[in-house]
Amino acid sequence: MTGRTVIIVGGGWAGCAAALSAAMAGAETRLFEKTDMLLGAGLVGGIMRNNGRYTAAEEALRMGGGGELFQATDEVARHVDVKFPGHSHASLYDVAKVEPLVREHLTDAGVDIQTMRRIVGLTMNEDSLSALVDEDGDVILGDVFVDATGTSGPMGACVRHGNGCVMCIQRCPAFGGRVSITGRSGVRELMATKGPDLPGAMSGSGKLNRESLSPGLIRTLDESGVAIVPLPEELTQLEKLASKPCQQYALPEYADNIVLLDTGHVKLMTSYFPLDQLRTIEGFENARFEDPYAGGKGNSIRFTAIAPRNHVLQVNGRPNLFCAGEKAGVYVGHTEAIVTGMLAGHNAARYLRNRELLEMSTDTAIGELLARGCEALLTPEGLAESQTLAGSVLFERLRKKNLYTTDSSVIDERIERTGLWRKFSRPL
Ligand SMILES: Cc1cc2nc3c(=O)[nH]c(=O)nc-3n(C[C@H](O)[C@H](O)[C@H](O)COP(=O)(O)OP(=O)(O)OC[C@H]3O[C@@H](n4cnc5c(N)ncnc54)[C@H](O)[C@@H]3O)c2cc1C
């Protein structure tokens, strides 16, 4: 192997973490993002550190590399130690402040960030990728590649499996739809299902414009970060819970109430809510959606294109292609994207140096996420299960294995014992 460059496609949380890890491991790193901003779905999320995500964030901070992105989200948190139904010790980052900060971190680490560069093709040398091609026909040479293109959209998927293009933060009509590097390389991708007639999954939350809500609701949100408004019986929404990817929020409390969280915009914890119905509720008389713009009608469809891969995040049959974030499993969440990105970027740099690829110990919450997420891809039942550290089956498993903790001395000892202390922040 003579090459030097790691190319990352997709600048969501997964791609940003992969880029930071690869650069910190000493690789020349280039990041290609089709829109004008980094962070993808992370531009409208905000919930961090809830349930098992707390443990994973603390583990990642001790490992270094992409894990340092958790410092950025902590730095712009509007609320910390928030409790809401089924969730403890959450922090809520400010969605308006986080992107420039992440961009600065990546630039400082030496990552060459290329926004408004949509990758649409590639060339191969036998089983390996040798170059990418962008929308303008420019050829980008590289040695190792990370597919962090996510699974949102493109518009066709939202039309086919959802309620149409709802004009979400991915902004496909303006910047072009998602193009999968794994798919373009000829690998057959996997699709998550929420039932025989429900391929993919509809995103589980939207954002309301703050100023459109009543002063009383805004005061509650400013004070505690959370507002819970009981729904009249005729507006409860049990049936919507089944189609959400965020199984950690598929609890009756989310069907019987409107749960709002303050992330800068006001996060509405349901896939969509018809505006005329929403406006009948006290405090929401003037409500309007901020993301997706058609949040009264539907939400983006995700998880229709997942890469089959191994435990070190190498795409099956493509030795120099790694994957991370939603691309690497039915992984729901920023934390899940960051920690898989960390490993993908680090292993891409290892591949470049002919070093043995790192498999994360399952004595860590992150290792458990990586291993279970990989196994789940092998069966239809697994593909019907969301993998998130914040709830559902994986969080249960963390509890059973005593991996879920908020005790920093336990996490210190765990990361020392597994040999992962600052592992991702040292040049190889
Ligand atoms: C509305 C919504 C709210 C959410 N809220 C939360 C939350 O509060 N907390 C939480 O933990 N999780 C939340 N999630 C889930 C979480 O945001 C995602 O699971 C995670 O951020 C996915 O990260 P990713 O990097 O894998 O993918 P994405 O964020 O989708 O990033 C993929 C990136 O790749 C780019 N791209 C695609 N194709 C190409 C190409 N060919 N060339 C160049 N660039 C390309 C896209 O433009 C995009 O920026 C939310 C998701 C949604 C949709």
Q: Domain containing 52 — which CATH number?
A: 3.50.50.60
Any idea what the Cα angle at residue 278 is, between residues 272 and 280, rounded to 5°? 165
Looking at ligand 1, which residue's alpha carbon is closest to its atom 26?
A: 325
Judge contact between 40 and 379, C-beta under 8 A. no
Looking at ligand 1, which atom is closest to the CA of residue 10?
34
The CB of 41 under 6 Å from ligand 1? The reply is yes
Residue at 317 is within a domain: yes
Residue 1 pLDDT class (50, 70, 90 cuts): very low
Same-domain status, 189 and 74 = yes
Over residues 143-187, the pLDDT tens digits come to 999 999 999 999 999 999 999 999 999 999 999 999 999 999 999
What is the pLDDT, as a whole number, of residue 51? 98
Same-domain status, 66 and 123 = yes
Same-domain status, 35 and 135 = yes
Looking at ligand 1, which atom is closest to the CA of residue 341?
25
- Can you list the positions of beta strands (E) in 143-291? 144-147, 201-202, 206-208, 226-230, 257-263, 265-268, 289-291
Q: Flag whether pLDDT at 359 surpasses 80.
A: yes
The C-alpha atoms of residue 376 and residue 306 are separated, in whole angstroms, by: 12
The C-alpha atoms of residue 13 and residue 69 are separated, in whole angstroms, by: 9
Q: Flag whether pLDDT at 291 surpasses 90.
A: yes
Q: Which of 297, 328, 356 corresponds to the end of one domain?
A: 297
Beta sheet of 87-93, edge-to-edge order: 47-48, 87-93, 77-84
Same-domain status, 113 and 23 = yes
The CB of 323 under 6 Å from ligand 1? The reply is no
Residue at 151 is within a domain: yes
Phi-psi region of 266 (alpha: psi -120 to 50; beta: other; left: phi over 0): beta
Question: How many domains does one find in the chain?
Answer: 2
Q: Which residues pair with 196 in a beta bridge?
A: none
Give the percent of the chain with pLDDT over 90. 90
What is the pLDDT, as a whole number, of residue 198? 74
Looking at ligand 1, which atom is closest to the CA of residue 151?
30
The C-alpha atoms of residue 170 and residue 176 are separated, in whole angstroms, by: 9
Ligand 1: centre distance to CA 40 (Å): 4
The CB of 404 under 6 Å from ligand 1? The reply is no
Q: What number of other Cβ atoms are within 10 A of residue 78's Cβ?
A: 20
Ligand 1: centre distance to CA 370 (Å): 18
- Can you list the positions of beta strands (E) in 12-118? 28-32, 47-48, 77-84, 87-93, 112-114
Residue at 223 is within a domain: yes
Q: Which residues pair with 260 in a beta bridge?
A: 227, 268
Residue 4 pLDDT class (50, 70, 90 cuts): confident
> Can you give the residue range of the structural domain that contains 104?
5-196+302-417
Residue type, 346: H
Same-domain status, 281 and 375 = no
Q: Which of 250, 271, 297 corresponds to the end of one domain?
A: 297
For residue 53, give the H/E element and its range. helix 52-63
Residue at 124 is within a domain: yes
Same-domain status, 116 and 241 = no
Over residues 304-353, the pLDDT tens digits come to 999 999 999 999 999 999 999 999 999 999 999 999 999 999 999 999 99
Q: Flag whether pLDDT at 2 surpasses 60.
A: no
Over residues 237-278, the pLDDT tens digits come to 656 656 566 666 677 888 889 999 999 999 999 999 999 999
Same-domain status, 234 and 379 = no
The CB of 304 under 6 Å from ligand 1? The reply is no
Which two structure tokens, joined as six digits, stand for 239? 């049936």
What is the pLDDT, as a whole number, of residue 234? 85
Q: What is the DSSP letter of 356?
A: P
The C-alpha atoms of residue 170 and residue 243 are separated, in whole angstroms, by: 20
Looking at ligand 1, which residue's alpha carbon is closest to its atom 12?
A: 333
Give the percent of the chain with pLDDT over 70. 96
Same-domain status, 131 and 164 = yes
The C-alpha atoms of residue 410 and residue 15 are separated, in whole angstroms, by: 29
Residue at 424 is within a domain: no
The CB of 179 under 6 Å from ligand 1? The reply is yes
Same-domain status, 161 and 213 = no
What is the pLDDT, as a whole number, of residue 276? 95
The C-alpha atoms of residue 232 and residue 57 are separated, in whole angstroms, by: 38
Nearest to 360 by CA among 349, 348, 379, 346: 346
What is the pLDDT, as a whole number, of residue 250? 72
Can you tell me whether residue 335 is helix, strand or coil? helix
Q: What is the dihedral of CA 113, 119, 123, 128, to 10 degrees?
A: 60
The C-alpha atoms of residue 278 and residue 285 are separated, in whole angstroms, by: 8
The CB of 32 under 6 Å from ligand 1? The reply is yes
Same-domain status, 122 and 50 = yes
Residue at 427 is within a domain: no
Strands 144-147 and 5-9 come out as: parallel
Mean pLDDT score of the chain = 95
What predicted TM-score, i.e. pTM, was given to this entire model?
0.97
Ligand 1: centre distance to CA 302 (Å): 9
The CB of 45 under 6 Å from ligand 1? The reply is yes
Q: Which of 239, 264, 297 corresponds to the end of one domain?
A: 297
The C-alpha atoms of residue 408 and residue 351 are separated, in whole angstroms, by: 32
The C-alpha atoms of residue 66 and residue 53 are separated, in whole angstroms, by: 15
CA distances, 225 to each of 92, 158, 319 (Å): 8, 31, 45
What is the pLDDT, as a whole number, of residue 251? 78
Residue at 422 is within a domain: no
Can you tell me whether residue 28 is helix, strand or coil? strand
Nearest to 239 by CA among 270, 267, 268: 270
Same-domain status, 268 and 334 = no
Same-domain status, 292 and 355 = no
Which mutation among 8, 326, 340, 343 tests ligand 1's pocket best, with the greatest number of atoms within 8 A of CB? Answer: 326
Judge contact between 185 and 122, C-beta under 8 A. yes
Residue at 185 is within a domain: yes
What is the pLDDT, as a whole number, of residue 378? 96
